[in-house]
């Protein structure tokens, strides 16, 4: 039986997230975009509302949200401001490898740090490198075992919250010759000697979020911070992305919904040729198309997130949802600017920011092409985690 009814808990989580997006994020979204940063006060309010540690289990002080509820909350927060929401949501990406593989000691040492409302900390997911983006198995950050732990060397790039994180989940290679068979992961604290922040990126969109290089120069990592042993790292990355992509798809739906609402309002108000432009069939159909696709995007991410919540395989559905959600955000925001005409091109109008923010949805956590690669491989009956390498 298909049941579209949300639970009371899900309705409450979405309502709370929407009110936070409306009352706390929207009023400062344009300013945060312009300044490229978020006021500490807002981060504290978000932490107090549980929005920086949504997926961390309740026993460590987190929200304990399942993937479906977390994805619906993501839609609301990205409706508010994609830059701020990316900052808040990055903890979930960074901690999913830990939810999969961390032992009790690691959970107890690190999860509570993200849940303290008075001193909220961030974590960051470190996979991408200058020479390894879509081809994640090509990473060359190396880890060497020593008598009392490990030595880590390498450079990560485009890391969300890289410059503000307290600790990092870092994917690295024990043996580059082994390609994806050589990959593992460690938890690295910002305070460790040899960890430094490189270039801070000046981005097109999601400008409020912090994106930097993170450099590891002979960093001593204690034995107890090994998160994923050699050989299991690639599986951990793929499983992590399968679980988190529904939330990125939901982010795309949230940005698209924000743009649709702006476009609908404007089309009813703007009069040309003696009547509101919504009465022109080409504009009316554009809005109809937006409404229909937003609904489809929401159902796709909900299916992927529901499967993830149930512990069912969700790789294919996550890629459907992520590919669709990213394209949806780009198409709807572009058309929303079009409906605004010249005004939509101006920074005073929200749709200008939304169109810049939307582009990232087709890039991070696996590009639009990589999602199609996963879908295409499935069509050929290839469900191996690395069919294209």
Could you list the residues that contact ligand FAD (CB under 6 A)? 90, 124-128, 133-134, 158-160, 203, 206, 211, 360, 363-367, 369-370, 373, 388
Q: How far is the CB of 132 from ligand FAD (least distance, A)?
A: 7
Residue among 241 and 256 whose Cβ is closer to ligand FAD: 241
List alpha helices for the chain, DSSP H.
8-20, 26-35, 40-48, 67-80, 82-101, 104-110, 233-269, 281-310, 315-339, 350-358, 368-379
- Give the phi and the psi of residue 128 in degrees, each rounded to 5: -65, 140
The residue number with the shortest CB distance to ligand FAD is 133
Q: How far is the CB of 123 from ligand FAD (least distance, A)?
A: 10
In the three-class reduction of DSSP (H, G, I as helix; E, B as strand; rest coil), residue 276 is classed as strand
- DSSP 8-state code for residue 367: -
Tokens standing for residue 288: 């109809």
All residues at 6 or more sequence positions from 225 whose CB lies less than 8 Å from its CB, including other chains: 106, 149, 150, 186, 187, 188
Q: How far is the CB of 33 from ligand FAD (least distance, A)?
A: 13
Residue among 349 and 364 whose Cβ is closer to ligand FAD: 364
Residue among 69 and 128 whose Cβ is closer to ligand FAD: 128
3-state DSSP percent of the chain in helix, strand and coil, to 5: 55, 15, 25
Q: How far is the CB of 364 from ligand FAD (least distance, A)?
A: 4
Per-residue buried b or exposed e for 25-51, using 16+ beta carbons within 10 Å of the residue's own CB: bbebbbebbeebbbeeebbebbbebbb
Per-residue buried b or exposed e for 208-234, using 16+ beta carbons within 10 Å of the residue's own CB: bbbbbbbbbeebebeeebbbbebebbb
Cβ–Cβ < 8 Å for 340, 20: no
Active-site entry in 24, 75, 213, 365: 365
Q: How far is the CB of 372 from ligand FAD (least distance, A)?
A: 8
Residue among 286 and 354 whose Cβ is closer to ligand FAD: 354
The Cα 331–Cα 308 span in angstroms is 27
Q: Is 365 a catalytic residue?
A: yes
Q: Where does residue 304 rank: exposed (0-12), middle (13-18), buried (19+ CB within 10 A)?
A: buried
Cβ–Cβ < 8 Å for 143, 166: no
All residues at 6 or more sequence positions from 265 whose CB lies less than 8 Å from its CB, including other chains: none
Q: How far is the CB of 210 from ligand FAD (least distance, A)?
A: 10
The catalytic site residues sit at 365
């Amino acid at each position: 039986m298909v049941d579209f009814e949300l639970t009371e808990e899900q309705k409450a989580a979405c309502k709370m997230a929407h009110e936070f997006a409306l009352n706390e994020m929207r009023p400062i979204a344009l300013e945060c975009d312009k300044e490229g940063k978020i006021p500490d006060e807002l981060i504290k309010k978000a932490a107090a509302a549980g929005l920086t540690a949504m997926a961390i289990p309740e026993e460590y002080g987190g929200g304990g949200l399942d993937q479906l509820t977390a994805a619906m909350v993501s839609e609301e927060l990205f409706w508010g401001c994609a830059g701020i929401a990316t900052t808040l949501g990055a903890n979930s990406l960074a901690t999913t490898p830990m939810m999969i593989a961390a032992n009790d000691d690691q959970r107890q040492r690190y999860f509570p740090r993200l849940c303290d409302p008075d001193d909220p900390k961030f974590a960051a997911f470190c996979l991408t490198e200058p020479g390894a983006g879509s081809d994640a198995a090509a990473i060359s950050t190396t880890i060497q075992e020593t008598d009392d732990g490990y030595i880590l060397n390498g450079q990560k790039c485009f890391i969300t919250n890289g410059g503000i994180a307290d600790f990092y989940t870092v994917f690295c290679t024990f043996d580059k010759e082994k390609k994806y068979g050589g990959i593992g992961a460690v938890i690295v604290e910002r305070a460790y000697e040899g960890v430094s922040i490189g270039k801070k990126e000046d981005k097109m969109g999601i400008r409020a979020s912090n994106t930097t290089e993170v450099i590891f120069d002979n960093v001593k990592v204690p034995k107890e911070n090994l998160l994923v042993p050699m050989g299991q790292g690639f599986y951990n990355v793929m499983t992590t992305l399968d679980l988190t992509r529904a939330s990125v798809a939901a982010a795309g739906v949230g940005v698209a919904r924000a743009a649709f609402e702006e476009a609908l309002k404007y089309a009813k108000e703007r009069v040309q040729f003696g009547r509101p432009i919504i009465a022109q069939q080409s504009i009316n159909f554009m809005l109809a198309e937006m409404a229909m696709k937003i609904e489809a995007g929401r159902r796709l991410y909900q299916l992927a997130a529901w499967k993830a919540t149930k512990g069912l395989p969700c790789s294919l559905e996550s890629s459907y949802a992520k590919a669709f959600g990213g394209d949806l955000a780009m198409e709807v925001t572009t058309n929303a600017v079009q409906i605004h005409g010249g005004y939509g091109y101006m920074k005073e109008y929200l749709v200008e920011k939304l169109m810049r923010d939307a582009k990232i949805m087709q890039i991070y956590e696996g590009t639009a092409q990589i999602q199609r690669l996963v879908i295409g491989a499935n069509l050929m009956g290839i469900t191996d985690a690395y069919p294209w390498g």
